[in-house]
Structure 1
Amino acid sequence: MPVISVPDAFNEEELYVDLRSVFGHPLFLKCEGFNFAGSIKLKAATEMVESAEREGALTPDSVLVESSSGNLGVALSMIAASRGYHFLCVTDSRCNLTTRLMMEALGSQVHVVAAPESPGGYLAARLDYVRDLCAADDRCVWLSQYTNPANWKAHYRRTAPAIARSFPQLDVLFVGAGTTGTLMGCARYFAQWDRHVHIVAVDSAGSVSFGGPPGRRMIPGLGMSVRPPLLDDSFVDEAVRVEEAETVRACHRMARRGFVFGGSTGTVVSGAMDWLARHETHGLTAVAIAPDLGERYLDTVYQTNWVRGLYGDDVLDSEGSTPTESR
């Protein structure tokens, strides 16, 4: 019986969903949302905070500051509340209302950048605001998830070894690409493994992480409007891009079977299913990482009017394939 005294002491690592019965292709989905932060971002948040503490950057008077589209903000809010730090999350209007309310419930301050003010879109506007805060107040400590090596090290040390223990015959791993912390940590780990694992990065259409023109992205989590500083292409075998309408379809298809996952998970699953449909899967062991659950997306991805207003009246009418674009 687990008994804990701090919320980050619990994280379910061994839960997988077999999606073959839902989509018809063999895929094990590693569920990362069963912790008190509700997403895989708890690992990166914990690693970055503990690294800053070891380096002496954090003191009782420090104010943690971070740019986040949502999930990392919740994870840092939880850790800050547990350890007695002040935390300010800089987000933008795409952040789900439920996520913002969660951060505020944990005692954090949330600043919403209302509109992009630079060529880099919302992300650049958020980063500019964070830099101005840090320049104006020397109590501010910016963990910088986009450049902090502790981000990918969290997954090198925890996520990838957990997958390796459960699937010693792993052939292909699908990982969503946002800051690319999860992607780089897992890819670096399996690059040193005793058998080749095909690493497939799953990105949102409109993201520039793997090239291509920028475009509108309304579902927070994956994708970047600038190239991720942590990304090293040499560790990635392939990248696929998923249209947001297909993200929505994948989420709703899983929900019809009782599995309510978040938008990032819908993107990863959609990209994985397209890849599997184009390859021989007999005897193949494939795993995908589900970053989050779906409760925080009830007013967006799972809200009919929101979905149809953005993606059209027929977006929820199809149970067909989930096409993506390969790199």
Structure 2
Amino acid sequence: MPIIKDPHLFNEQSLFVDLEGMLGRRLYLKIEGFNFAGSIKLKPAREMVERAEREGLIGPGSILVESSSGNLGVALSMIAASKGYRFVCVIDPRCNPATRQVMESLGAQVDLVTEPDPVDGFLGARLNHVRDLCASDERYIWLNQYSNPGNWGAHYRWTAPEISNQFPDLDVLFVGAGTTGTLMGCARYFREHRPDVRIVAVDAVGSVSFGGRPATRLIPGLGMSVRPPQLDESLIDDVVMVEELDTVRACHRLAAGGFMLGGSTGTVVHGAI
């Protein structure tokens, strides 16, 4: 049993669920929620903060700031509390109220934007708020998950090798696309080490990441209202778009088997099927 002093030092990295009996497909699901942040976002949060520390960007009085739909904000709130940093998370109305309460319980300041940007939607409004904060006070340090190489680098370093080691005969890897950090980290790793594995991105209908038309999306986690700066489509073999209603159906199907999992997971599972 591990003994830790800091919450970000524990993360169950080798748990997979065999879905064949439930879904009738030879499909395995990597479970990333068994850590103190409760999601895969612990990995990029840790990598981005440690990268900023190594580069000397965080000093006395620094205030970390990030835009998040929820899970990254929780992970950064936890790390900031552990390290004694102040943290501001900028969210929009789609963020789950319970998620906001968790961030505030961990000591984070949560700023809610209520009006979408006319062109770039709620994400654009969140980013505008972050830029305004940084312009108002030099103490604000924007980690910027959207272009920070630590985002995809965390998954190149940890997530992709964990999958590769467990499945030497892997045929296709389905990865949800939000900021595309997970997608790009995994795609780069497999292109370099196992180019025979096909990489399929799974995105939500209404997201513009892969050139689709913007539309209202209610489930946070996947999809973007602006094109992700880190996205390199040359590393992807295929894209599957999923309607939110199908996401909900997939979550209900998983719950009927005893697995209570989130919207991003339901989207990827439906896309894979």
Runs of 4 or more off by more than 3 Å in structure 1? none
* Higher relative contact order, structure no. (Cα contacts within 8 Å, ≥ 6 residues apart): 1
- Equivalent runs, 1:37-48 vs 2, <5 Å: 37-48=37-48
TM-score, normalised with respect to structure 2: 0.99
Contact 1:77 1:103 survives alignment (8 Å): yes
SS of the aligned residue for 1:192 comes to: helix
Task: Name the counterpart of 1:165.
Answer: 165
Task: Name the counterpart of 1:129.
Answer: 129
Task: Name the counterpart of 1:208.
Answer: 208
The one-character-per-residue Cα deviations of 1:210-232 (angstroms, maximum 9, x if unpaired) are: 11100110000000001100000
In 2, the alpha carbon distance for the partners of 1:251 and 1:206 equals 19
In 1, the alpha carbon distance for the partners of 2:205 and 2:21 equals 27
- Equivalent runs, 1:47-126 vs 2, <5 Å: 47-126=47-126
In 2, the alpha carbon distance for the partners of 1:142 and 1:236 equals 29
Contact 1:115 1:122 survives alignment (8 Å): yes
In 1, the alpha carbon distance for the partners of 2:112 and 2:247 equals 25
Q: 1:165 to 1:67 in 2, by over 3 A?
A: same
Amino acid at match of 1:3: I
Task: Name the counterpart of 2:189.
Answer: 189
SS of the aligned residue for 1:226 comes to: coil
- Equivalent runs, 1:1-327 vs 2, <5 Å: 1-273=1-273
The one-character-per-residue Cα deviations of 1:123-176 (angstroms, maximum 9, x if unpaired) are: 000000000000001000000000101100000000001111101111100000
In 2, the alpha carbon distance for the partners of 1:4 and 1:139 equals 30
Deviation at 1:180, TM superposition (A): 0.1
TM-score, normalised with respect to structure 1: 0.83
Contact 1:60 1:84 survives alignment (8 Å): no
Contact 1:87 1:108 survives alignment (8 Å): yes
SS of the aligned residue for 1:260 comes to: coil
Amino acid at match of 1:154: A
SS of the aligned residue for 1:116 comes to: coil
Amino acid at match of 2:54: R
Gaps of 5+ in 2: none
Contact 1:250 1:267 survives alignment (8 Å): yes
Gaps of 5+ in 1: 274-327
SS of the aligned residue for 1:78 comes to: helix
